[in-house]
Structure 1
């Protein structure tokens, strides 16, 4: 039986079960072992007899015979205490598992809405009681005879203030299209507020909301909100120069945790540096202090834009594999490795089919990749590697200095020369010139000609970690590979559904393959 198991919205697994299932408890035992589920849980399944609506699984015979979709609901222990949260300027304290363990992030200050995407339609907030009464009466009159509501100044200010706070809970710097979606949602909910002077009916509201959100950001600067104070010295407030979330970062520049100051966090940073100097440092201490100092680290990285070598010196723990994944989760509230690797499992075969369907359109380099795949002994691993290596070629981008290889006999000081961002594969010298698939000694992630992660497990993991470091270090995508990284962001990891034409075309082609 083949199962599609939904553990979380961003953690969906596929399982093949060869043995015959005798009971629901037998299935639970298999799921616990295969998926490493520790706590008790409830199994639901999509029932085809009720339009694939979810139903609790009480008897194993209720499952469809060959394929089934399951949803896992983990039970909260009765003696566990409810999580508490402290809100300040639309922020709250949350905890969530990382890719590598069940560690939590109790110190991370995050936005009230943990969505990586702009909502559609935008949820218009509740206004004050008297304003809601006026709007309800205005909608009644509009429905009856088309009369538009005359909005007094104080009523309009109440509406705009509430909307500005709602917008900021999602995004500090919304673009024009997003602002239009807010005003359109407002008019859809309250048609009595239509603007008679424009074709859309909401142009004046869009402009009013735009100015109001600007004024609201100024209030937050005065209050000391980090995400907007970082831009208070920008020349002419040029939007091209603003330091703001551009790749669906939920926590781009969070404020310090409640009760903490830059001085107290600096002391924690110093203690973290001392811990990392130990030969056998404590991962529990590192995890805790990395969580606590997240806001200080983001201020340094976003505001000062240090070199990678400087960050490596100041924050050595950030370049541990587990912490790359943890930092990516702190920033985006998305599990990095599990999301990327599961998407690669789904798309790798389709990508290879797509590469083959284009024949020699991408030159000898693509042909060599496909020939190596045909000769590989470990087809599954080679298929994933080929899918990733061929992606820049398919996107018609220059992958030079991105996926580089060298011999283990080459001098170490020359291996990363010219590599601003990429993955270095070190191969054995004695077989490199004989076999088409040489033995790989190690894989390394390189930034600014410096190895920042060494001895990575495999190429897919290296690509995931490189992408995580791009977010952790607030690095822009290289221009010569912008479509490749956009594909990783929007197709593989699912951050932002709005794709460029080239990436959307690639995504559509993948969906055609079954």
Structure 2
């Protein structure tokens, strides 16, 4: 696989078979705490869409991108409608973001644009730190140009452009290492970012806990009855479901029920 990754004509199905057959060895390296730089060298396809898809499904039983896209089709427009027409009337930061997105988005349409809106509105709604999720660099930046010390330790999407809407491409950073420097769509970037938390045993940072758990439960359909991926804080009681996430899910369901009356 290391040799294949150096070529430009590798076969995706062959990579999937190789990834599946070496899953045990991948988990062994990850679970013993192998550093991210070594993992990117030893298992380069683990950070590519096709390779992570295989690993994530073997690990969780869930097809990563397929589940996300299906959820976007069923829930995406309803969430955006609720955010723009209900939350914006009650939350000043959400209203400011809605106004800003109308300018940034312009006349562009499509699923990927909706996902960008959704992520930025969720960050506003939960008042969480965008800079831990999205790191902006110059449009022409290469991996070697990114100042690694300015990146968060947790998985991060590097946006090559002035905004998500004007980006020419995206990169994935994990543990301040550029794990993938050529991601062509924002949807793929989101899936790789989210998948990294599970594949590499990483806790959600408390500053992004609500956004990530909302994505986890509503769009990646991972709903454990107990336990949480949020980094534990001393003297703070753990709860099975983030109450802020539960409130948004409940308010959204209530709004949809009212709409059908």
Over 3 Å counting, the alpha-carbon distance change for 1:374 and 1:407 in structure 2 is: closer
Q: Aligned to 1:358, what secondary structure does the other structure show?
A: helix
How far apart, in 1, do the equivalents of 2:210 and 2:110 lie?
27
The alignment status of 1:461 with 2:188, answered yes or no, reads yes
How far apart, in 2, do the equivalents of 1:353 and 1:334 lie?
27
Unaligned runs of 5+ in 1: 1-271
- 1:319 Cα deviation (Å)? 1.7
User: What's the counterpart of residue 27 of structure 2?
Assistant: 298
How far apart, in 2, do the equivalents of 1:363 and 1:506 lie?
13
User: What's the counterpart of residue 423 of structure 1?
Assistant: 157
Alignment of 1:198-209 (within 5 A): none
With normalisation by structure 2, the TM-score equals: 0.78
User: What's the counterpart of residue 258 of structure 1?
Assistant: none
| Count of residue pairs the alignment pairs up | 235
Match of 2:75 among 341, 347, 350: 347
How far apart, in 1, do the equivalents of 2:164 and 2:171 lie?
18
The alignment status of 1:310 with 2:52, answered yes or no, reads no
The alignment status of 1:375 with 2:106, answered yes or no, reads yes
Per-residue displacement from partner, 1:310-345 (whole Å, max 9, x unpaired)? Answer: 110111121221011111110111111111112122
- 1:444 Cα deviation (Å)? 1.6
Structure 1 runs (4+) greater than 6 angstroms displaced: none
Per-residue displacement from partner, 1:168-207 (whole Å, max 9, x unpaired)? Answer: xxxxxxxxxxxxxxxxxxxxxxxxxxxxxxxxxxxxxxxx
Per-residue displacement from partner, 1:414-467 (whole Å, max 9, x unpaired)? Answer: 35532332111112xxxx5xxx98632111222122322233232222111211
Alignment of 1:386-405 (within 5 A): 386-405=117-136
How far apart, in 1, do the equivalents of 2:146 and 2:2 lie?
29
User: What's the counterpart of residue 482 of structure 1?
Assistant: 209
Q: Aligned to 1:454, what secondary structure does the other structure show?
A: strand
With normalisation by structure 1, the TM-score equals: 0.42
Bigger-Rg structure (1/2): 1
Alignment of 1:30-429 (within 5 A): 272-278=1-7, 280-302=9-31, 304-356=32-84, 357-359=86-88, 360-362=91-93, 366-372=97-103, 375-378=106-109, 380-409=111-140, 412-414=144-146, 416=148, 417-420=150-153, 421-427=155-161
CA contact (8 A) 1:425 1:442 kept: yes
Q: Aligned to 1:490, what secondary structure does the other structure show?
A: helix
Per-residue displacement from partner, 1:257-310 (whole Å, max 9, x unpaired)? Answer: xxxxxxxxxxxxxxx4344445544545433332222112212211x2122111
CA contact (8 A) 2:140 2:160 kept: no
Q: Aligned to 1:443, what secondary structure does the other structure show?
A: strand
- Supply the RMSD in Å over aligned alpha carbons: 2.7
User: What's the counterpart of residue 471 of structure 1?
Assistant: 198
- 1:410 Cα deviation (Å)? 5.4
- 1:351 Cα deviation (Å)? 2.3
Which structure's relative contact order is higher, taking Cα pairs within 8 Å and 6+ residues apart? 2
How far apart, in 1, do the equivalents of 2:41 and 2:77 lie?
41
Range with greater deviation from structure 2 (347-356 or 373-382): 373-382
Per-residue displacement from partner, 1:472-499 (whole Å, max 9, x unpaired)? Answer: 2222212211121111111112111643
Q: Aligned to 1:376, what secondary structure does the other structure show?
A: coil
CA contact (8 A) 2:105 2:113 kept: no
Match of 1:501 among 236, 243, 246: 243
Over 3 Å counting, the alpha-carbon distance change for 1:451 and 1:396 in structure 2 is: same
CA contact (8 A) 1:376 1:437 kept: no
How far apart, in 1, do the equivalents of 2:117 and 2:184 lie?
16
- 1:368 Cα deviation (Å)? 4.5
CA contact (8 A) 1:422 1:446 kept: yes
How far apart, in 2, do the equivalents of 1:346 and 1:372 lie?
26
